[in-house]
């Protein structure tokens, strides 16, 4: 050990500058990592919402097929609206995400069904879409300005 001005100098440990440098490097790494994690979480939420929307369309198609067999959807009454949370759609679509929305089903002359729907959660919204929903079709809801879509015009805007 060296004596400096009568004191023993101990070379063990870190200086304040070394500790600050390590803290700054860790803060930069956390900032970069958290940005990536938030993007991953956002993409996962969007993917889950898209899946729920496709499940809504599938449930509406199943319900419409049953209504065709029962005679409540026919060539004379060829459009029907199915609203989330209302019967008969509620029997086929469990609304675990507290979504609002509806699906407009049209029976075509050839007997096929055309489905157009909208759905909204606390984070995302889909408007005027069919089963060909893509990655960029889920938007962050800005306002209740989707009143121009045919599913909402015909079925009503049930946004609470």
Per-residue confidence band for 2, with pLDDT thresholds at 50, 70 and 90: low
| Count of Cβ atoms closer than 10 Å to residue 55 Cβ | 14
Q: What percent of the chain has pLDDT over 90?
A: 9
Given a contact cutoff of 8 angstroms between Cβ atoms, the answer to whether 136 and 47 are in contact is no
* Average confidence score pLDDT of the chain: 78
Give the residues across from 160 on adjacent strands. none
Q: Does 84 score more than 60 pLDDT?
A: yes
Per-residue confidence band for 141, with pLDDT thresholds at 50, 70 and 90: low
The pTM (predicted TM-score) of the whole model is 0.69
What is the DSSP secondary structure assignment for residue 10, as one 8-state letter?
Answer: P
pLDDT tens-place string over residues 11-34: 677 889 999 999 999 999 999 888
What does the DSSP assignment read for 21-88? Answer: HHHHHHHHHHHHHHHHHHHHHHHHHHHHHHHHHHHHHHHHHHHHHHHHHHTSS-SSS-EEEEETTSTT
3 or 119, which is more confident:
119
**What pLDDT, on a 0 to 100 scale, did the predictor assign at position 148?**
44
Given a contact cutoff of 8 angstroms between Cβ atoms, the answer to whether 152 and 84 are in contact is no
For residue 105, give Cα distances in angstroms to 7, 43, 108, 113.
88, 29, 10, 7
Per-residue confidence band for 139, with pLDDT thresholds at 50, 70 and 90: low
Task: Calculate mean pLDDT across residues 70-75.
Answer: 83
């Amino acid at each position: 050990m060296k004596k400096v001005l009568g004191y023993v100098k101990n070379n063990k440990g870190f200086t304040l500058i070394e500790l600050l440098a390590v803290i700054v490097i860790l803060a930069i790494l956390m900032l970069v990592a958290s940005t990536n994690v938030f993007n991953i979480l956002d993409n996962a939420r969007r993917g889950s919402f898209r899946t729920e929307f496709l499940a809504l369309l599938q449930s509406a198609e199943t319900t419409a097929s049953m209504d065709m067999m029962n005679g409540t959807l026919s060539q004379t009454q060829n459009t029907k609206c199915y609203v989330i949370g209302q019967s008969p759609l509620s029997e086929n679509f469990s609304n675990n995400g507290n979504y609002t929305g509806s699906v407009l089903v049209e029976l075509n002359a050839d007997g096929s069904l055309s489905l157009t729907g909208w759905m909204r959660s606390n984070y995302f919204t889909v408007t005027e879409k069919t089963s060909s929903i893509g990655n960029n079709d889920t938007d962050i809801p800005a306002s209740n300005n989707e009143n121009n879509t045919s599913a909402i015009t015909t079925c009503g805007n049930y946004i609470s």
